Structure 1
């Protein structure tokens, strides 16, 4: 199924000059908005703390507040998009995101900054959750899996490249310019979405947006193994990924003496593993079946976690840390698009709702990963324990779900 097969009434702005690749590229950028605005600040936390006259620990709340609002906001946007269509929530959300970015740029106190980050997250959550729902509107089957691979790679690449960009901006023009850059990025994505994609889901007045109906819808997904097994697995793996993001500064800057720019280069290098395996995942799914290919990725990620746990007792160096991380990210890159497609495929009529809950579970998993690593004093032991635990739980959950779902 391709975009040309869709009922023309369903696409208000589906203009012929724009190919399906162009539209998927816009969706990839849409998915990257939220994560780009999250990690770009990591190298600048000390300088932000100095300018705002607070501690580095206090200014790190700008990230935790952002993630919390981002997670909860998705649960609201998803049902609204099933009722009123995708175009208005996306454009309105990106507009809010740009305004929040400008607010943060001119903030002079931490409370002002937290308000700006809240506004920013409310807008970003619409872009993230609806990028997946729009892909499900347009495509299905193998085409959906390939499209989601591209979108998920962009979503995973943004946290990898953004610290490098943030470090360069912090060094040359100051941390405030980072908010200007993400605001300009959001505005550019909004224009591209308006020109290339438009509406992909006809507003449905039969979809109830009453709280009880929405809660029933979410409960139905949570109790459906077709959804909760792959979606829960993704949540656990996102926890393992963000555990890596949160602990890497402790390992590399505090332990190995890296500079902020070197830390950014490290994150940018890890994107290569996600990109390569993310693109390979759909091909493996065609050859071996989607479930088997996903299990292969899960096993690779577990091996990476075990290697990282073992590295705690080895001589600490860049390679004893980078090697296991690359193995984990190879598995994560395979699992991310395949499990996302598996979770969304059966729920085309509730794509917004399903994508919203999937996004919430991912952000909840990310928060769990960050909290768990912060609770263990030794950075290398923390990341090893958390990655082993979360990846193994993810593998067990996915295999449990497969018992009730025929192999694809």
Structure 2
């Protein structure tokens, strides 16, 4: 029985909030410690250059873990795989809280990312199992928004927690949040995938991946959304170099800039459904917003006319474009694949993480001034998204 025939047109608020919390869990764990990185490296005798590993360890775990949990959930069901992932997330959070050395903390963060991968990949698969039509599109929009706004919100929360109780309390909060979400899953989230088979082992898993990776429509939307996320990560990664290094802003002002980016994504995601356009049209509008803002940013930089206000405004416009296009494009990607929603969600998530990491790393690697390298990267990723989406 396919998910398209069992999808509901009802949208229980409790289920939606739980799926959003699951989706945001990994980003919360990644970014809650951002304000404490300097203190953590000092207390655990890590090199300052290793501070980024405290964040990237979680992201690596999320990216790799999705490739495992997705196919497992197609074979064994969403609920047991999700509960297993949450258990690992909680235990790793406790280990991180009491870590006595840098290597122990990095191992715990990697394990926490592996556990969080279930919370990121499986809500999309559960939504594909349970919902249909416009309701499914709305759910996917809200899940994407939950994941996108957390990187801007979590550092603000983490700063307050660390100021009052120290950096270990921020790590403890990640374990506590995982425990609360797990309790909610146990009480209120039944199994949604009833047409699974447990036969086939590795051959069946590889078959699921072949099915997904040979689907041209899925690949077009997957590559398009991955490129948009690569551009978004590049924008966040360049924040300090742009506003502190180029414009001379203080640390507090610089820390608020990513929050404005998250608000731009949120505004785009909330505004898009109100335009009453088809999902494909929303994808096109969002892609054009990304292309236009990046091209304008680059032109102003080349002409020497870039100001902080223009830089923020154009970047927020680009993030709004991602908010327009990513939720419906992700939904359309999952709708293109029948019978392997977990595997499709895993491929999506892993691709997003990989290209996001590429976007973040590109800013420091390009031999260009940041005011040229950033909009050039934005324009390149937007162009890749446009080209990929033309192939569907």
Same fold (TM over 0.5): yes
1:324-366 C-alpha deviation (Å, 9 max, x unpaired): 1111011000111100110001324211011011101101111
**Residues 108-187 of structure 1 aligned to structure 2 (within 5 Å):** 108-187=100-179
Residue 307 to residue 352, structure 1, CA distance change in 2 (3 Å) = same
Contact 2:11 / 2:135 at 8 angstroms: preserved in 1?
no
Q: Which residue of 196, 218, 223 maps to 2:188?
A: 196
- For the residue of structure 2 that corresponds to 1:288, the secondary structure is coil
Q: Which residue of 82, 86, 89 maps to 2:81?
A: 89
Out of 178-187 and 195-204, give the one that drifted further: 195-204
CA distance in 1, matches of 2:169, 2:195: 38
Deviation at 1:228, TM superposition (A): 0.2
1:71-95 C-alpha deviation (Å, 9 max, x unpaired): 1110100011011111111112112
Q: Which residue of 225, 238, 245 maps to 2:216?
A: 225
Q: Which residue of 308, 312, 319 maps to 1:329?
A: 319
Contact 1:229 / 1:400 at 8 angstroms: preserved in 2?
yes
1:97-123 C-alpha deviation (Å, 9 max, x unpaired): 111112111112211111101110111
Contact 1:96 / 1:123 at 8 angstroms: preserved in 2?
yes
Partner of 2:55: 63
Deviation at 1:307, TM superposition (A): 2.7
Out of 62-71 and 82-91, give the one that drifted further: 62-71
Contact 1:85 / 1:199 at 8 angstroms: preserved in 2?
yes
Contact 1:49 / 1:59 at 8 angstroms: preserved in 2?
yes
Deviation at 1:213, TM superposition (A): 3.2
Contact 1:164 / 1:263 at 8 angstroms: preserved in 2?
no
Out of 291-300 and 309-318, give the one that drifted further: 309-318
1:251-309 C-alpha deviation (Å, 9 max, x unpaired): 2344445555444432223222212211232344xx33221221111110111222332
Deviation at 1:207, TM superposition (A): 5.3
Deviation at 1:141, TM superposition (A): 1.6
Does residue 383 (structure 1) correspond to residue 374 (structure 2)? The answer is yes
Residue 22 to residue 348, structure 1, CA distance change in 2 (3 Å) = farther
Partner of 2:283: 294
TM-score w.r.t. length of structure 1: 0.88
Deviation at 1:393, TM superposition (A): 0.7
Q: Which residue of 200, 205, 209 maps to 2:201?
A: 209
Question: What stretches of structure 1 of length at least 5 have no aligned partner?
Answer: 9-17, 402-408
TM-score w.r.t. length of structure 2: 0.92
- For the residue of structure 2 that corresponds to 1:128, the secondary structure is helix
CA distance in 2, matches of 1:28, 1:182: 16
Deviation at 1:311, TM superposition (A): 4.2
CA distance in 2, matches of 1:165, 1:380: 30
Contact 2:76 / 2:198 at 8 angstroms: preserved in 1?
no
Contact 1:281 / 1:338 at 8 angstroms: preserved in 2?
no
Equivalences, count: 386
Question: What stretches of structure 2 of length at least 5 have no aligned partner?
Answer: none
1:202-225 C-alpha deviation (Å, 9 max, x unpaired): 262255331x43233223322211
Partner of 1:356: 346
Contact 1:82 / 1:352 at 8 angstroms: preserved in 2?
yes
Residue 80 to residue 136, structure 1, CA distance change in 2 (3 Å) = same
Residue 130 to residue 381, structure 1, CA distance change in 2 (3 Å) = same
- For the residue of structure 1 that corresponds to 2:193, the secondary structure is coil
- For the residue of structure 2 that corresponds to 1:198, the secondary structure is coil
CA RMSD of aligned residues (A): 2.3
1:111-138 C-alpha deviation (Å, 9 max, x unpaired): 1111101110111001100010011111
